[in-house]
A and B are shown apart, each in its own frame.
Chain A
Amino acid sequence: MPVTGLALHQLWISFRLLLVVGAILLASLPAALLPSALTPSLAGAPPDALGWYAIALAAALLLVAGVAAATIALERRRGTAGWLAVRAVPRATILLAWFVAFSLLVVIAMLPAGLVGWFSLQNGLPPDGLLPFMAALAGAAGGGLAAISLGLLAGSLLGPVPAALATLLLAGPPLLGAATGQWGWVAMPGGGLAVLAGLETARRPIADALLAAGVAMALSAVLLVLGMTAFRRAEL
């Protein structure tokens, strides 16, 4: 799809691609630098390496969502989205192309970030913890995609800075709340991060992570449809 290629190239040229990928890769640093917990975390205790890993991932995904919001608002303001629209590229396709571009970057960056996390944290996890770890990461990525969809919706309605701020304000509590264990309910967009943070003690991590991923993907789809509707009505 040429529009996704344009979006990725624009992210590359403007260094936002490096920012997005770099932020997610940097999120694995706490896992690599902090000692792995050998004992299960207690409620109210400071987060262990796994907890910090989840918090750093949540922060990185929030940053990506904020960048997505500002990007689509900038595309509208600079007229580049309009340049495509007057060439019969459907507006929904333009928005979807940006979603695919950001989602690709998140998924690609989470692979090495997950590898670093796994090799650094596996000592503190159960012996058969790889599959639950991967499922929790997938759930976390789902939360990230929902945050990106929210960012694209905000960017379709607001200017770059207000859109980024609105995205951080709306997506921040569920993602960071889940990662810090404040919101322990897994059937929510940030549920994958909650599963990841509590992976040492989780009783059915794979089921919880898949539930969280499903909820996040469903919410993402709803937000994308809303975003497309807003983008269709937006001034380009």
Chain B
Amino acid sequence: MRLLRPAAIELRDLQALGPGRPDALRGIDLSVPVGARLVLVSRPDEAASTLLRVLAGLVRSTRGHVAMAGLARADDTPRGWARRVGYVGPQPAIYPWLSPAEALALAGRLAGLERREIGLRVGEMLDRFGLADVASRPLSRSGPMVAQKAALAATLITDPEVLLLDEPLRSVDPDERRRLLELPPRRLTVAIASRYPASEEGIVNQVAFIRDGRMILHGSVAELQTHGLPLSVRGIEQLADRHLATADRRPMAGGASRAAIST
């Protein structure tokens, strides 16, 4: 079943260099509908991270077209991106001398929010992420769990339309992590790069698999379950291989195979 809903993430023939790999991404085609929750898995592991970093504008693509939240990705970062697209990397990357409250306020200020709105949203995020008790303490004195929560909260403070998460909240207790990643707004599209897709069970409803720089599967979690396969790298890889082996598969521009997608 093909969906006709608008795409939140649209990639065509995307190519990029990765750390130490001249061909990390070799022609990725992907269309993620609005509201989807996608887990990106790759062999080697870095390719999925590289893809998110390209989408976030941290790594330049060498070729191809990227559009997110209705905007085409330019070389430099246009103002609109700050409000529409959020990215959280595996490291919090916030200055460690900032407190969670300061980091959130800074993120709001850089995104152009008004002072009053910043105050309201900072309070809301601190409560939601359980950071109120450590709101004024520098991140360097609060440990990695607080820093990771603050990084995600600082991204959500602008209420983005597309959220790119690279191995998020790995220092957080699994139940707490699941609670924080179950993001309610329906219009929010989430792409999570994960080496442990089983930990995203219940959070995501789509899977994508990149092997040797090519997108070889974009399907639904439901389809994995239909085939009796687990939401794991092995399970996703087996589903990809079945699709590739199927005679009536429909080849895509990048050599990928698209499975049925339902959100």
Contacts and interface: CB of A to CB of B under 8 A. Distances in A.
Interface string A53-66: 00000000000000
Interface string B240-263: 000000000000000000000000
Contacts of B81: 86, 88
Given A80-B94, A83-B93, A83-B94, A88 B58 contact: no
B94 A84 contact: no
B75 interface: yes
Given A83-B94, A88-B111, A233 B79 contact: no
B132 interface: no
A177 to B, nearest CB: 38
A87 interface: yes
A90 B95 contact: no
B60 A233 contact: yes
B57 A86 contact: yes
A236 B58 contact: yes
Interface string B46-89: 00000001001111100000000000000111111110011101
Interface stretch (B3-11, B36-44, B102-110, B120-128): B102-110
B91 interface: yes
B58 A85 contact: yes
Contacts of A235: 19, 53, 58-60
B140 to A, nearest CB: 9
Contacts of B76: 90-92, 232
B91 A87 contact: no
B196 interface: no
Candidate in A13, A78, A235 with the most chain B CB atoms within 10 angstroms? A235
A88 B78 contact: yes
Nearest to B17: A235
Nearest to A86: B87
B95 A80 contact: yes
A3 to B, nearest CB: 9
B126 to A, nearest CB: 19
A184 interface: no
B170 to A, nearest CB: 15
Task: Give the interface residue-count category, chain A.
Answer: 20 to 34
B97 A88 contact: no
Given A82-B58, A85-B57, A85-B58, A2 B111 contact: no
Nearest to A3: B110
A170 interface: no
Contacts of A91: 76-77
A13 B85 CA distance: 31
B57 A13 contact: no
Contacts of B82: 86-88
Contacts of B109: 2
A14 to B, nearest CB: 9
B163 to A, nearest CB: 11
A182 interface: no
Candidate in A2, A10, A85 with the most chain B CB atoms within 10 angstroms? A85
Given A6-B95, A80-B95, A235-B59, A89 B110 contact: yes
Given A2-B110, A89-B110, A9 B97 contact: yes
A79 interface: yes
B97 A13 contact: yes
A79 B110 contact: no
Given A82-B58, A235-B58, A88 B77 contact: yes
A225 to B, nearest CB: 15
A148 B116 CA distance: 39
Contacts of A10: 95, 97
A12 B95 CA distance: 12
Nearest to A78: B93
Contacts of A78: 91, 93
Interface in B141-180: none
Given A13-B97, A88-B77, 7 more contacts: A9-B97, A78-B93, A82-B93, A86-B77, A86-B86, A87-B111, A235-B60
28 contacts: A6-B95, A9-B95, A9-B97, A10-B97, A13-B97, A78-B91, A78-B93, A79-B91, A82-B89, A82-B93, A84-B110, A85-B57, A86-B56, A86-B81, A86-B86, A87-B107, A88-B77, A88-B78, A88-B79, A88-B80, A89-B110, A232-B75, A232-B76, A233-B60, A235-B19, A235-B58, A235-B59, A236-B59
